Amino acid sequence: MPLLRVSPRADVRLLTSFLTARLSTDYATRVRSLYRMYPPANLLSEQSTYLNVGYWETGSESYDEAQEALAGRLAEAAGMGPGDTVLDCGFGFGDQDFHWLATRRPHQIFGINVTPHHVAAARARARAEGVEGRLRFQRASATDIPFPDGCFDRVVSLESAMHYRPRTRFFAEAFRVLRPGGVLAVADIVPMPGAGPRTALGCPALDWVKQTVDDRNWHDRDDYAGKLETAGFRPVRVRSVRDRVWDPWIAYVTRTVDHPAFARRVSSLYRGILRWGMSDRVQLGRDLARLDYVLASAVKPDSSA
């Protein structure tokens, strides 16, 4: 008998979350509802529980590999290494933290996240793998970081800062909790220069941008660098990696949603929502052309004078 991975109850939760993410007047509720739509049983990735769009070297790697590669690029941008104390903001299910612990050997990683089931899942995994002393996850917002000044060597955020209200408050908080010489690294979604307002996006697959990206975060990569500098960081580097992100990601999603193995793996409601969201491929292409994807790194100067 095939393993039934999704229950009718999960479908009711999916539908409720889908509607709440669209209709709630409360921003925080919309963000939480967006991520309630993606429990581990309803994910585009196959093995991992990453929630990012991936960094695609060849376009033919697996989604899991592409997502891990993006985590690797971010750790590289942060200069994460042995002995570091790291803060990861918006950690999802925490996959990248387990990966970094194994590959970069930091002393400890603290994770903060506003989505309760992400915190619970990451904690449970850390306990199960016996690393709960080195990976510590808690519920908190990146715009109000519950740690004292100067206590981290690295602050990172992997495809989460577009949600922060606003992102500049996170920059200020990251600056505060970094030690002098510490580094902030962010993988983030911003509009292309001259992309127009968020409301111009027309494809339902990208409705989440209208519902869960703060308007104050809708600025291009040059402004991004300027805002990091305004927070006190120097030097600052913001580079677009969009060519390694959007086209290969959408190619992967397009071939996956119609694949029988995917249909067996996820709920048909989830697959139906995905297919409906992407049904106008011309509009989707136009919308994606408006999106940039940046990797930013910024140093808190040794002397703030």
Ligand X SMILES: C[S@@+](CC[C@H](N)C(=O)[O-])C[C@H]1O[C@@H](n2cnc3c(N)ncnc32)[C@H](O)[C@@H]1O
- Binding residues for ligand X (CB under 6 A): 31, 35, 50-52, 89-92, 95-96, 112-115, 118, 141-143, 158-160, 163-164
Q: Cα(57)–Cα(106) distance, rounded to whole angstroms?
A: 26
Nearer to ligand X, 122 or 268 (CB): 122
Dist. CA 292–CA 41, nearest whole Å = 29
Smallest separation (angstroms) from ligand X to the CB of 87: 11
C-alpha span between 197 and 140 (Å, rounded): 29
Residue placing its CB nearer to ligand X in the complex, 17 or 96: 96
Distance from C-alpha of 171 to C-alpha of 142, rounded to nearest angstrom? 9
Using Cβ positions, the residue closest to ligand X within the complex turns out to be: 92
Nearer Cβ to ligand X (117/280)? 117
Residue 130 CB, nearest approach to ligand X (Å): 22
Q: Are 154 and 80 in contact (CB under 8 A)?
A: yes
Q: How far is the CB of 51 from ligand X (least distance, A)?
A: 4
**Between 52 and 256, whose beta carbon lies closer to ligand X?**
52
Q: Distance between CA atoms of 276 and 278, rounded to whole angstroms?
A: 5
3-state secondary structure of 189: strand
Q: Is 292 in a helix, a strand, or coil?
A: strand
**d(Cα 112, Cα 183) in Å, to the nearest integer?**
17
Which of 50/252 has CB closer to ligand X? 50
Q: Which is nearer to ligand X, 164 or 293 (CB)?
A: 164
Main-chain dihedrals φ then ψ at residue 164, nearest 5 degrees:
-65, 150
Task: Tell me the closest approach of the beta carbon of residue 90 to ligand X, in angstroms.
Answer: 3
Closer residue to ligand X in complex, CB, 28/263: 28
In the bound state with ligand X, the residue whose beta carbon lies nearer, of 113 and 267, is 113
| Phi and psi angles of residue 203, each rounded to the nearest 5 degrees, phi first | -90, 130
Burial status of residue 166 (CB atoms within 10 A of its CB: 0-12, 13-18, 19 or more): middle
Instruction: For the CB of residue 200, give the shortest distance to ligand X in the complex, in Å.
Output: 22
Q: Which residues contact 225 (CB under 8 A, 6 or more apart)?
A: 236, 237, 238, 296
Least distance CB 74 / ligand X (angstroms)? 9
Are 209 and 198 in contact by the 8 Å Cβ rule? The answer is yes
Q: Is 116 left (phi over 0), alpha (psi -120 to 50) or beta?
A: alpha
